[in-house]
Amino acid sequence: MTKPRIFSVSNQKGGVGKTTTTVNLATALAAMEKRVLIIDLDPQGNATVSVGAKRTKGAQNSYTVLMGSDNVMDAVRETDIPYLYILPASKELLGVDLELASTGAPQFYLKTALKDLDSFDYVFVDCPPAVGLLTMNALVASDYVIIPVQCEYLALEGVADLMKTIQKVKKNFNPSLQLHGIVLTMFDGRSNLSKSIVSDVKEFFKDQVYDTLIPRNVRIPEAPSHGKPVMIYDMRSVGAKSYIRLAAEVLNREKELLANG
């Protein structure tokens, strides 16, 4: 029994590749026979659908687990992919900010819910595009944060705020939280804007940026409508291959981070 390493995939900016990164990184690690759990903490439920599960209401899901009414292992489901499991989302997550606001320690619900989780190597929490209590709960429960940044105009909008949030969480709630890395997504090699964003982000965040660039690839938006990660939908696509490379880099970086204490 191992205690899992928990990653939040977060950026309050919408549509930057959080869910795509969560699902495909998780699938790539599952393909390496790591036991991986995706926690869909976004009421949109995109990660849930992307692995072929259903967003559920009234059943056991990430909302009922977060609120403490269900045990996490009772709510986790298998996917069609060996080694990959999902804790599906529910629309009821939409009400969490209001529901938890009046409680004593609203940031600690997910951490508490996951405290005895020992059947996975990795957990990836897909965060919603907001810095509300859902994201707070994810950061407080996590060892690491991965920030996807889209290679588009205003790419870094909000990232400075997210960095401040991470610092605040570290200081007040979770001293061991670490930025694992920044992943540049939807890179278009023919676009000068895309290239200049890559160099700006690398200049600013230096080696915190993963070497692997995720290119824009049509197979990626096609895959979720088939309820499959792109790696399963089209293994040979550049999208799939880039996420396999990213997974290898994530594993290497984890070793470095552990070695540096």
Ligand X SMILES: Nc1ncnc2c1ncn2[C@@H]1O[C@H](COP(=O)(O)OP(=O)(O)OP(=O)(O)O)[C@@H](O)[C@H]1O
Return the closest-CA partner of residue 38 out of 133, 115, 119, 126: 126
Q: Is 174 among the residues that bind ligand X (CB under 6 A)?
A: no
The SS3 call for residue 10 is: coil
Within 28-87, which residues bind Mg ion (CB under 5 A)? Answer: 46
The β-bridge partners of 146 are: 9, 181
Within 181-210, which residues bind ligand X (CB under 6 A)? Answer: 185-186
Element (H, E) at 150: strand 144-150
Within 44-83, which residues bind ligand X (CB under 6 A)? Answer: 44, 46
For residues 168 and 250, give the distance between their C-alpha atoms in angstroms, rounded to a whole number. Answer: 24
Contacting Mg ion (CB under 5 A), which of 13, 18, 180, 216? 18
Q: What is the DSSP letter of 218?
A: T
Q: Is 143 among the residues that bind ligand X (CB under 6 A)?
A: no
Within 234-253, which residues bind ligand X (CB under 6 A)? Answer: 239
Choose the stretch contacting Mg ion; rule: CB under 5 A; options: 17-25, 78-86, 100-108, 184-192: 17-25
Q: Is 231 among the residues that bind ligand X (CB under 6 A)?
A: no
Which residue is it, tokens 């191992």?
Answer: 2
Binding-site residue total for Mg ion (CB under 5 A)? 3
The β-bridge partners of 148 are: 183
Q: What type of residue sits at position 153?
A: Y
Q: Measured from the CB of residue 116, what is the shortest distance to Mg ion in angstroms?
A: 27
Within 167-206, which residues bind Mg ion (CB under 5 A)? Answer: none
33 vs 161, beta carbon nearer ligand X: 161
Residue 206 CB-density burial (10 A; 0-12 exposed, 13-18 middle, 19+ buried): exposed
95 touches, from Mg ion, ligand X, none (C-beta below 5 to 8 Å by class): none
41 vs 151, beta carbon nearer Mg ion: 41
